[in-house]
Amino acid sequence: MYQLIHSLTLSDLFKRQIPVFIPAFVIAELFYKFHSFALECVAFLITWYAFDAIHHWTLGKWKRVKSTAKRSTI
């Protein structure tokens, strides 16, 4: 966590992690009722990781499509 926070600039942290952190936090708060802090924390971190992976994958696809479209119009 320390490395994550210090390896990204503040603007990158907000651009990359806040859009996936908030939905993961809301889902964890509404649906994860394991009656164990540790289990709920692990489930939240897994959800955050999954959302971040999906977000990263879709942005990569979108950037590739966008760059391909630019090359074809030139």
> 47, exposed or middle or buried, with CB in 10 Å at 0-12, 13-18, 19+?
buried
Query: How many Å apart are CA 60 and CA 66, to the nearest integer?
Result: 10
Q: Which two tokens stand for residue 25?
A: 């936090």
Q: pTM to 2 decimals?
A: 0.75
pLDDT for the residue 37: 96
Looking at the structure of the chain, the number of domains it has is: 1
What's the Rg (C-alpha) of the chain? 16
Number of H helices, E strands in the chain: 4, 0
Contact present, 56 and 44 (Cβ < 8 Å): no
4-44 pLDDT, tens digit per residue, is 778 888 888 888 889 999 999 999 999 999 999 999 999 99
Region of poorest pLDDT, from 42-46, 63-67, 70-74: 70-74
In which domain, by residue range, is 67 found? 2-73
The pLDDT value given to residue 67? 72
